[in-house]
Amino acid sequence: MIWLIFALLTGAAIMAVLAPLAMRGQSENDSAADVAFFEQQIAEIERERAEGRLEALDAEAAKTEAARRLLRAEAVPKSRTAASRRLALATALAAIVAIPAVALTLYAKLGHSDMPDMPLTERLESVPDARDLAGAVARIERHLREHPEDGRGFEVVAPYYLRTGRGEDAIHAYAEALRLLGATAARHAALGEARVVVAQGVVTSDAKRDFEAALALDPSAPEAQYYLGVAAAQAGDREKAIEIFSKMAGDAPADAAYLKAVNAQLAKLRGEASAPVVSRGPSSEQGKAIAALPADQRQAMIRGMVDRLASRLETEGDDVEGWLKLIRAYSVLAETEKAKKAVDDARHALARKQDDVARIDALAKELNIGG
């Protein structure tokens, strides 16, 4: 039914445009031109009579002849005018019928009239197409190449980089946003968090400086407080970590989103819960199985995984990736002395591989591990 209404509206619109054209004959222009011509003739006759170049009798005869010619000129095209008007009207009616017919036929073949509508609320709540998001990011990147001083662009694209595994790009984008837009607690904290993500959960010295800068601007910034507490735990300063997390728990609103994580850190530091899994393990199924265990069994399994890795490296010391994992594991478990010993053992085992030793040294510097 709605398509019939659309067709009628289309026809009405076409009629509004074509009807005046159909009703206007070409004879109107022709007749007007004839009248003007003969009026000029009569005016010329009167002028010649006034100047004495034409006798009065001759002037009247000339005007009579001009009038006779005008009458003949108007009489001839009447039939033609009627025929032209009928032809124009027929053309207009044909257009009124043909254009909607062609349009509806094409839509029936190419359109999707059966597609359900999508209300505004559903469009707003729907997840954006990943291809659309990637395209938008590509446009932002192109814009930033042309306008590298647009700090807002860097700030917009940085979270996307972090979510999609482009950690180094996220660090660069957050750093540029901080430089170009000015220092705020939120920007320092975001940059520090990106560094932690890239370091696989380790609060590096650079990240720690970012969080300290955030607290200098806003002493109540929860992200900065949390990661400084994690940094203290990773450095082996258990009492300081407990102090930071206890203060956060005491100051946090009851519905604070970060309160659960803070309480989990306190429970771990007080020995009431196990440390988090320090490795993804060989499969996600194993990770799920470990997470489902009771706290004491989960702690024992994690400890067993770390001990087995350490034992393997005693005989397979040329595995730089294994050493890096072991050092990180000890750091996350807040076992600083074992982490330092692992750094020394790795340097000794990899002494002939300068590139691998450089990686061990870089990690030790990030974790503030001496030795």
Cα angle, residue 355 at apex, residues 332 and 367 outer, rounded to 5°: 20
Specify the range with the lowest mean pLDDT, choosing from 77-91, 128-142, 284-298: 284-298
Nearest to 171 by CA among 130, 210, 142, 115: 210
Q: Which residue segments constitute the domains of the chain, with CATH numbers given?
A: 2-110 (no CATH), 205-273 (1.25.40.10), 284-366 (1.25.40)
pLDDT bin (cut points 50, 70, 90) of residue 172 is: very high
Cα 15 from Cα 89, distance rounded (Å) = 10
pLDDT of 356 above 50: yes
Question: 315-338, pLDDT tens digit by residue?
Answer: 888 888 888 888 888 887 778 888
By percentage, how much of the chain surpasses pLDDT 70?
67
DSSP label of 145: H
Note whether 165 and 198 are within 8 A (CB).
Answer: no
Average pLDDT over residues 233-239: 90
The pLDDT value recorded for residue 102 is: 74
How high is the mean pLDDT of the chain?
Answer: 77
Instruction: Report the pLDDT averaged over residues 123-137.
Output: 58
Q: Mean pLDDT across the stretch 223-238?
A: 92
The confidence score (pLDDT) of residue 117 equals 61
Across 123-127, 150-154, 255-259, 267-271, least confident range: 123-127
Rounded to whole angstroms, how far apart are CA atoms 162 and 154?
12
Per the model's pLDDT, the better-predicted residue between 212 and 140 turns out to be 212
H-helix or E-strand containing 2? Answer: helix 2-23
The whole-angstrom separation of Cα 361 and Cα 346 is 10
Asked if residue 70 lies in contact with residue 41, where contact means CB atoms within 8 angstroms, the answer is no
d(CA 226, CA 260): 12
Spatial CB neighbours of 88, under 8 Å, sequence gap ≥ 6: 21, 22, 23, 24, 25
Q: Which one is predicted more confidently, 62 or 20?
A: 62
**Which of 75-89, 216-230, 262-276, 295-309 reaches the highest mean pLDDT?**
216-230
Torsion of CA 96, 100, 105, 107, to 10 degrees: 160
